[in-house]
Every structure is written in structure tokens, then in C-alpha cells.
Chains A and B, each alone.
Chain A
Amino acid sequence: MVEASLYFIQQLLNGLTIGSTYALIAIGYTMVYGIIGMINFAHGEIYMIGMYVSFVAITGLMMAGITFLPVVLLLALAFSMFVSSTYGWAVERVAYRPLRGGNRLIPLISAIGMSIFLQNYVRLAQGSRDVAIPSLIEGNWSFGPADGFQATVSLMQVIIWISTVISMFALTQFIARSKTGKACRAVAEDLKMANLLGIDTNRVISVTFIIGAALAAVAGLLLGLYYGVANPFVGFIAGLKAFTAAVLGGIGSIPGAMLGGLLLGVTESMTGAYFSTEYKDVVSFGLLVLILLFRPTGLLGKPEVEKI
């Protein structure tokens, strides 16, 4: 009995770990959708780029002789966030801005093209094989009977939770209090009206892409350290999961993305543990369909009023 519940707790903790990174990526999808109503398909690739850049930064810092871990990680995080944000910004400028205001499908195709481009760009630049870095953060706590199953929490997991909470808190404060955050909310409410009231909507849209990319880079660094490996193709499936999380929580809603991410992570980990790892993706998409059937706008989404 104790063993079974410890096993359950273990799966829950693993699920929350993956789920919090899904949530970080999902924010990028949900914010962009909330403001310009487009699915930024290339966002998963930004996450992958964040992972690569943080690996490069960590290795570079190590080679330069800086080995004090917190400094290495913070510098790598800052660098990776900076580079990924530049990618997010550039992608919007090049592939989406010229297409704004037309048919909804046009930017979607352009985004898919961008996603293929970025994936192959990294593949050509860094090789298609897995790159691995040695695990930097060791240490874990186990609890449970000494001779039976023990639930384990690693330091890395704790770091992931704490970083996610800090990022989410910072984002919420930024959206709620800063002037730019206020502008973001106004633009999400009504882009045309915001424009009429003198808000530089182009700037706000750029900021949205930059924030989304920065959070994806945080997720990239964290998951990169957690798994220790990266390859150019991790972005697609992670992006798909994160987008599912965003829809699950109600696309356009930031708390929804957080909730959706956690829910999806836990579902996946539970399916993997109790049912089958091969079908965990099937179950998560199944869950999405089910929730949308009963709540067509997602868990926390606002039902849209149809105007005539």
C-alpha cells in the first residue's frame, strides 16, 4: 500500500517536472495567439534553439575555466534567453509581419515553413546526432522504506520547479503591473482600438514574441540539463505538446497555459507508468479531445461571444 502510493507520488513529481516545462513553452503559444490569433508553429524550434545555445554556452564557460556552477548556469541562461529572444523577434519580423492582416492560413503556412527552416538550419550547423553534456547538478533525496520502493526527488527537479515558479511569477507581475504589460493586455483585448489609442501595436507584438522565446529558452535550458541530451528534432514534439497544453488550458489565457501544461505533464507521466509509454501521446491527445468536447474553449478560456 505504502509502496503503491509512493510510486504514485513519484509519477506525480515526474509529471509536474515535465509539465512545468510544457507550461513555460505553452506561454509563448498562448500569448501570441491571444494577441494576433495565429498559431506560431516555429515556437517549438525556438525552444530547441534555446537548448542548443545553452549547451554551447555552458561548454564555452567551462572551457574558459569558469566552473562555479551557479554562475555558469545563470550566465548560460541569460545568454540563451538573449539569443532565443533574438530568434523570436527575427522570426516575427521576417516571416509573420509582412503577412499580417490577411487570411489566417497564410501566416500558419509561413510559420510551418519557418519551423522546417530552423530545424534544418540547426541540423546543418550542429549535426543531426544527439549532443550530450555531462550532468552538472547531482544530488537527490529519497524517502520511503529503506528496503522497498523509494520515491526520489532530484535537485534538478527542485531547480526546475523553482525556476518555473519564478518565471511565471515574473511574467504575471510584468503583465499585471508594467506599462508594456498593460499595453499587451490592451492589444489582446482589441488590437484596432489599442492602435487608435496610440499604443505601438507592432512593438507590443514584438515584445510578445520576445517574452515567449525567452520563456522557451528557460524551458530549453532546464530540460536540456534534466535529460542531458539534445538533437535538432526535439522542438517539434515539444512544441506540439506545449500547444496542446495551451489549448487544453484555453488558448489566449496565461493561467490556462500553466494549468494545461501541468495537467498534460502529469497525464503523460501517469499513462507512461500505469498503461504504456508507447501510447502516452495518444492518451494526451485523447484527453485534449475529451476536454474540448465538454468545454470547447478549454479549461480557463473565455467563451467567445459571436457578434453579428
Chain B
Amino acid sequence: MISQEKIIHGLIAAIATLVLAFPLLGVKLVTDGISPHLENADTNTIVSILVASLAVFFVQVFKDHLSSAFSAIPRPDLLSKIPRPTTTSGRDKAEKIATMLLIAFALAWPFAASRGSVDLATLVLIYVMLGLGLNIVVGLAGLLDLGYVAFYAVGAYSYALLSDYYGLSFWVCLPIAGLLAAAFGFLLGFPVLRLRGDYLAIVTLGFGEIIRIMINNLTSLTGGPNGIGNIPKPTLPAIQTEPDLALVGLEFGKRAKTEGNIPFHEYFGIAYDGSYKVIFLYLLAVLLVVFTIYVIRRLVRMPVGRAWEALREDEIACRSLGLNRTAIKLSAFTMGASFAGFAGAFFAARQGFISPESFTFIESAIILAIVVLGGMGSQFGIILAAIAMTVLPEIAREFQEYRMLLFGVMMVFMMIWRPQGLLPAKRPQLEMTHD
């Protein structure tokens, strides 16, 4: 039965839809020319607004019928079908095997896939690295950081500037970029970490903006909005035997750009192929991600990692047990920042060009969305979420115009659909058994 109340509800919702859509979609403000005037949207738009309102009305009125119809469709629960080892040691073993298989697959895959998809996969891996780094801060330590992109920018600019001014190679700059980003994290963290959750969020957000504005305005150093171009690609270290024994870098271009380096194909005496470079960058990214995953897994099992999680769960209990709150938070912040620094240096090397536009707030938001969607603390979840957040917008490239619009909608619906994340982290726990 449809009650009167429901019809009123539906009417309100339908009218609201009209109010929302007409002033912005139904008319177009034209201010070129002599005097500003309004133009009616084309008939299609008007009709679709009306259809949308009608649809909203019916959905509201028949909400219960619809939801019962939907619940009648059986939902396959795929996750619970996967056999799970129950003992802790068994689970560890299963996880180890799964990780090994995943890494083996990741290493073999680029040789079979197309160049474009390998390139996209490299981008996904950058986001995986960023997500894992931010996960230390947000997922493990429970500190809300909205300016994570600042450390990413610091890493990218450290490599770009060091190679530009001093000609340092990627392999020298990578640790430096990580260290510099960590130093920035330390410097920022020191004054602000005694702030409570949401204050911390806005201060980090402000810090992200400050870094971007500084990069934009220090034109003489960073090139300002024009950015820095011609950043050298990473080289593959190799041993030269002639004329004498030496360590050289292999470049993936047709000719070596830096003196002393040898092109990759000449070293191995094979024909030049543009895809070597893409595959090399991809494998390098895999290496960095594996390194990140390994380090973070070890950290979580160390006292400092346990302290991060303990602090997130109960700050007061931690303090009364004598843990130094500031030191723990600071270590999380610094560690998180250093991974962003690595990712930034790699990003700069891959793109060959960076500008402040790559480091806007949206970027921080995407990384945070990856962490939250991944399930706050679970590494597998973050990898899945990074794939979702990077590949879906790429697929939507066909709707170029609507890409960001869809991205926004996707963010909202993913949160409504799965607020606990794709794969929520399992907390280590002990259970009493009755044997």
C-alpha cells in the first residue's frame, strides 16, 4: 500500500530535484557580449531534468518495494567461499605463498601486456606506494593528514632540482629525496602533533598548500608554474669490462644523454626498442613497492609499529603506560613522509617533467581515498583500492568531459557501498579456546 506520507515525501524529493537542477542546468548564463543574458538549455536537457524528477518521485514512493525486490536477488558472498586457514601459522604460510605468487605475476606480466597498460600499471604502483605511506599515518597511527601530497612534491622536486643543478643520478637522489621528505615531515610534525585530530587535518592541509604556493612562487629556483622539464630517466647500473672495469649506468634512450652512460641496447647488443624503457620503469616501480611493503610489514611487527596502533586505539591508555606520545606520532609522520619522498622521486623520473599542478589538494584527497577505500591499515586492500582509483578514471577517459564528475560520484558511492573498505585490516588478536 502506498501511504499518503510516502507520496508527500516523493513530491518533496521531486520538487527538490527541480530546484537543484533548473537554476544551473536549465538555464545558461551568457556574459559575453553587451549585456549578460540567460539562454534556455536545449530541449534534451529540460526533458532529462523532468524525467529525473519523475524518477526521484517514483523511487521515493516505491522505495520499500524496490529494496525488497533488490534483497530478493541472491548475493554471492565470494569472500567467504575462499577457504581460509584457521590457525595463525597456517594463515601466515598462506599469506606468504599468496604474496610470492602476486610478486611473480607482477614481474612476469609486463612482457605479455601492451605498452600502454604497463605504463598505466606503473602509475598504479606509484599510487600504491603513496597509499602505503599514507597508511602508516592515517591507518596505523590514526592521524588525519590532508596534506600528504606536500611530501610527494618535496621528493619529486628534490630529485628534479638535484639532477638539474648538480647532475646527480637517480640512484643517488632516491635516498636523498626520501630523507628530505622525512625531514619535512619531522619539521611539520614537531609543532603540530600535539593538536587533536581535526585540527591536525586542517594544519596539514594548510601545509600542503603552503608547499605548493612556495614552489609556484620561487620561480628562480623551481621554475614556478612552468615546472621543470628534461628530468633524466633512471639508469640501470651495470658493470663495464672494456676499456677497464667500471660501474656504468645503462640508459634506455636511443643514445646516451649523459657522458659515461651507455644505451641499454648497445650494452646487450640487441636492437633498440622503445618498450624496454616502459618495462624497466615498471619493474623499478615493482621493486620500490615490494621494498615499501616489506619495510612496513617489518615496522608493524616492531615495537614502534605496535605503539602506532596502540596509540590509535587508545591514547590515554598509551600515555598511562609510559609511551611517549609525541615521539610515536612523530615517527609515524616521518616514516610516512619518507615513502612519499621515494614515490615523488620516482614520479619525477618517470614523467620527466613536473610542475606544481601535479601536487594539488585533489592528489592528497585521492591518496586518502585509496587508504580509506582500501580498508584503513590493510596492505592488500590498499593495492586493490589504488587499482580501482587509478584504472577506473582511465577507463572513463572516453567520457573526457565527465571524468572528474564521475570520479566524485564514485568516491561518494564507494563510501556508501562499502564504508569499511574493500578489505578491512585484520587486527592481530588472541582468542581463548576451550580444549
Contacts and interface: CB of A to CB of B under 8 A. Distances in A.
A243 B202 contact: yes
Contact of A282 (B31, B213, B369): B213
Contacts of A281: 209-210, 213
Interface string B191-232: 110111111011101110110011011000000000000000
Contact of B24 (A49, A102, A115, A297): A49
A285 B16 contact: no
Contact of B206 (A121, A278, A289): A289
B416 interface: yes
Interface in A242-295: 243-244, 247, 251, 278-279, 281-282, 285-286, 288-289, 292-293
Interface stretch (A10-18, A122-130, A143-151, A165-173): A122-130
B73 interface: no
Contacts of B206: 244, 285, 288-289
B29 A117 contact: no
Chain A interface helix/strand/loop/mixed? helix
A119 to B, nearest CB: 8
A116 B138 contact: no
Contact of B23 (A83, A102, A115, A308): A83
B103 interface: no
Given A59-B36, A112-B411, A116-B411, A98 B416 contact: yes
A126 B28 CA distance: 6
A132 B35 CA distance: 10
A86 B402 contact: no
Nearest to A132: B31
Interface stretch (B94-102, B278-286, B360-368): B360-368
B207 to A, nearest CB: 7
B144 A105 contact: yes
B24 A113 contact: no
A26 B134 CA distance: 28
A120 B199 contact: no
A232 B316 CA distance: 44
B199 A89 contact: no
A83 B16 CA distance: 9
Interface stretch (A50-58, A155-163, A187-195): A50-58
Interface residues of B, number: 59
B25 interface: yes
Given A133-B31, A282-B210, A292-B195, A53 B24 contact: yes
Contact of A109 (B27, B29, B207, B369): B369
A104 interface: yes
A112 B35 CA distance: 36
Interface string B327-351: 0000000000000000000000000
Contacts of A62: 35-36
Contacts of A6: none
Interface string B15-34: 01001100111011101000
Contacts of B37: 59, 63
B419 A90 contact: no
Given A56-B23, A63-B37, A112 B217 contact: no
B51 interface: no
Interface in B394-429: 401-402, 404-405, 407-412, 415-416, 419-420
Nearest to A101: B419
Given A240-B209, A281-B213, A120 B194 contact: no
B217 A278 contact: yes
Contacts of B372: 105-106, 109
A83 B20 contact: yes
B20 A117 contact: no
- Going nearest first, the 10 A-B pairs with the smallest beta carbon separation are A113-B411, A117-B408, A116-B408, A285-B206, A120-B405, A113-B412, A110-B415, A120-B404, A131-B31, A86-B19
Interface of B: 16, 19-20, 23-25, 27-29, 31, 35-38, 138, 144, 191-192, 194-199, 201-203, 205-207, 209-210, 213-214, 216-217, 316, 361-362, 365, 368-369, 372-373, 376, 401-402, 404-405, 407-412, 415-416, 419-420
10 contacts: A52-B23, A60-B38, A79-B23, A113-B412, A132-B36, A244-B202, A247-B198, A281-B213, A285-B206, A292-B199
